[in-house]
Amino acid sequence: MRLYTATSLIAVLIVLATIADIRTNRMISKLDRRHAVICGCIIILCAVCEWVGQMVDGNETFIVVHTCAKLLELCMAPAIGVAVAVSYGDAIGTKTAIAVTLCQSVFQCIAFTQGWNFYIDAGGFYHRGIMVEVSVIAFLFSLLYGVICMIRAEIRYQAKFNGVLTLTLVLLAVGTGSLFITGYPHASYLSMALSNMLFYIEFYRMTLQIDGVTELLNRRCYETALMSVKPGSIILLTDLNDFKVVNDTYGHSAGDLCLIRTAAIMRKVYGRYGQCFRIGGDEYAVILSRHTQDIKQLNAAFTKSVEQMVSEDSRMTGVSLGYAYVNTMDEDVHSVVELADQELYRNKQKRPRVNRTKQ
Amino acid sequence: MFFDLYTTVFLITILILVITAVDIWNNRLMSKKTAGWAVLACVMIALSTSGEFIDALLNGSGIGWTFVHLGGRFVEFCCAPVICIALAFAYGSPIHGGVAVKSVIAHILFEIVCVFFGLIFYVDEINLFHRGPLYLMYLAYFMSTVVYAFITVIRKGKAYQTDVDAVLYLILSILSVGVIIQFVDSRIRVFYLCMAVINMLLCIRNDKTMLQVDAVTGLLNRKCYDVDLSEHKGDFILYLFDVDLFKQVNDTYGHATGDLCLQTVAAIILDAFGSYGQCYRIGGDEFAAVVEMDLQQQIQAESRFRQLVKDARNHDERMPDVSFGYSRHRDDHHIQSMIDDADENLYRNKMAGRKNV
């Protein structure tokens, strides 16, 4: 039991340290910081409630405290996964998730009055009710939801599904698994505290890798990706035609919209075959490493989608592109970029002139 | 029961060490050398905690396996002090690094000698662990490595304008929890869990520090400047600095000299204004300081700044002059108009300076 107290204390300290780190992190927006702090507070609350419950179990004088702690824990535990999803992941159906969590809390309160989920006898001992599984299932589902939203964020921001996230899932599984194997006392909130910290790291990494406007990978990632490009890959460069004119004629918000929509088309067409980057004001790059034989079809599809966008909204503008193959290991990758750039320039010269008049 | 809470905690400890090591290995912000030290710290914690785990399994288990028990404990006692030294090299700016490394090697040799005589610890014939007469010496050495690690981490923080913040206090309190529990009841084995967590938190903190810093000058970067200005509360002064004719320095003497000159300017700004607030590099040859100071301190800092620039220019003729301007924040003051005021002030000073030459 003393080991359990020690691990609970450490879990709380870990969450506090994570919160302190998030609050002083200037790279994260104010709103995200607030979400992350709330998420941490929920974990602390649950861990403390569980600890209190364990400490006063079998003690007649603290029956009220025991009851409150247990009920609070049952109500709040399923909120952890949702909080993780909102704070660090790409949350989907957030409102529904929060509503379900609230319903779960209400259900637990009602169930308590009927003694369905748990009851505490006159001796202060905790007993499971017939429907205690509901809270366990809700808890597991919320964790699953949190993990799914994290994976969605990984895909959205083209983060490589790297070892850290996989291992975090293993950690989470070990912690929650201990709940079933060892029974009380268990280490699930310790693993939750650690996973919270790791999700924060992962989220923070992703934020640093993307360009804020288009959500493509940023220039820094492009430079490092170039260094480890595999032979047989294609480097494709794109740039918007007359982007300055769009900006000057229709304003910066139209310019941004143009950048965002082009980036979205790019992700849709090339995303499955490689990584997309925004490497300058109106310049993009794609490093294609899979199925590079279809490049002509892909390019045709891309140009067609962009043309369609331009025909639908006259403020948008077309693109020019150029690409080159990375042939052998020893070839300097920057000369390949140079080749792609030259082709891009030739294509740009060839394109029909569009006359944009100020409206 | 074999699979108890302690086993879970042990598994979790090993897992977070693996995660930290994988993460460090993929981290491009760290140089290979620092990453090496950080991974070494992970490995050492893993070895120590495994030694402890063996002890937990075998302690008092009766006759047999004595050698394994002794070996496990020996590994733990050898590796534990290496942890903090590795942490110091990975996340701090070490002082007397050579001495620290030598002391670790000496300690390991000492352990090897002692294990034969049972001076620091021994395991009796029924597999019970006992502390030896020199145990306190080991403990003192271990604690001194801990103190060493924290001093180096604080030193590094100072160099990059990351104060001793709440995160560091919490890291310290996790450490104290670990140490105190170890003292009070060594059967509660959470010490290496604490070390693994500290290792990870130090890694995050170090990452954050490095990302907030401009690579050339070591001052805080543009992003921090934008965020700090928009979130700063109360009275403060914004100083803007501009290196005069920096382009000429770059063109005449080359980019290496240009960088050197920027580093000198950054060091001077940090020296004169650093103790009152934060200093930033906000553009190619533009710097800023967001400070809280009264008029007297302002006069002092400015004269110190001018003196330091003058000294640097006397010392090295390639060094250009630096102009500055400031603006004091008032409640009705918009941030943008404040920046404009400081900029205008800077421009006027610059023109006045050129006329005087």
Residue A136 has pLDDT above 70, yes or no: yes
The reported pLDDT for the residue numbered A204 is 87
Q: Within this chain, do residues B166 and B36 fall inside the same structural domain, yes or no?
A: yes
Mean pLDDT of chain B: 88
Give the domain CATH number at B44: 1.20.1070
> Which residue reads 């869990």 in tokens?
B193
Residue B356 has pLDDT above 70, yes or no: no
Which range is least confidently modeled, A43-57, B26-40, B72-86, B299-313?
B26-40
Q: Within this chain, do residues B120 and B236 fall inside the same structural domain, yes or no?
A: no
Domain termination site, one of B211, B242, B274: B211
Residue A357 has pLDDT above 50, yes or no: no
Do residue B185 and residue A191 have CB atoms under 8 angstroms apart?
A: no
Q: Within this chain, do residues B44 and B157 fall inside the same structural domain, yes or no?
A: yes
Domain count within chain B: 2
Residue B127 within any structural domain of the chain? yes
Residue B118 token pair: 């049972």
Q: Within this chain, do residues B232 and B320 fall inside the same structural domain, yes or no?
A: yes
The reported pLDDT for the residue numbered A359 is 40
Do residue B19 and residue A26 have CB atoms under 8 angstroms apart?
A: no
- What does each C-alpha distance from B142 to B146, B171, B173, B231, B272 come to in angstroms? 7, 17, 17, 42, 39
A183: left (phi > 0), else alpha (psi -120 to 50), else beta?
left
A interface mutation test: which of B19, B172, B177, B190 has the most A CBs within 10 A?
B19
Do residue B174 and residue A17 have CB atoms under 8 angstroms apart?
A: yes
ipTM of this complex prediction, to 2 decimal places: 0.82
Classify A219-350 by CATH class: alpha beta
Domain termination site, one of B211, B245, B272: B211
Give the domain CATH number at B329: 3.30.70.270
All residues of chain A having their beta carbon less than 8 Å from the beta carbon of residue B223 are: 26-27
Do residue A13 and residue B174 have CB atoms under 8 angstroms apart?
A: yes
Read off the pLDDT of residues A31-49 as tens digits, 9 standing for 90 and up: 889 999 999 999 999 999 9
Closest CA to B6 of B55, B42, B47: B55
Q: Within this chain, do residues B171 and B256 fall inside the same structural domain, yes or no?
A: no
Of the partner residues A10, A200, A224, the one whose CB lies closest to the CB of residue B197:
A10
Q: Within this chain, do residues B201 and B250 fall inside the same structural domain, yes or no?
A: no
Read off the pLDDT of residues A302-353 as tens digits, 9 standing for 90 and up: 999 999 999 998 888 889 999 998 887 666 788 888 889 999 888 888 876 6
Domain termination site, one of B190, B211, B232: B211
Residue B161 within any structural domain of the chain? yes
Q: Is the Cβ–Cβ distance between B103 and B111 less than 8 Å?
A: no
Q: Within this chain, do residues B274 and B299 fall inside the same structural domain, yes or no?
A: yes
Q: Within this chain, do residues B162 and B85 fall inside the same structural domain, yes or no?
A: yes
Domain spans of chain A, in order of start: 2-209, 219-350
Q: What is the mean pLDDT of residues A285-310?
A: 88
Q: What is the mean pLDDT of residues B98-106?
A: 93
Best CATH choice for the domain A2-209 from the list 1.20.1070.10, 1.10.600.10, 3.60.150.10, 3.40.920.10: 1.20.1070.10
Closest CA to A287 of A234, A329, A238: A234
Percent of chain A's residues with pLDDT above 90: 39
Residue B159 has pLDDT above 60, yes or no: yes
Residue B59 has pLDDT above 70, yes or no: yes
Q: How far apart are CA A258 and CA A253, in angstroms?
A: 9
Q: Within this chain, do residues B298 and B279 fall inside the same structural domain, yes or no?
A: yes
Q: Within this chain, do residues B164 and B228 fall inside the same structural domain, yes or no?
A: no
- What does each C-alpha distance from A129 to A116, A132, A224, A233, B100 come to in angstroms? 5, 6, 56, 60, 59
Residue B143 token pair: 């604690």
Q: Within this chain, do residues B263 and B156 fall inside the same structural domain, yes or no?
A: no
Domain containing B263: what range? 222-356
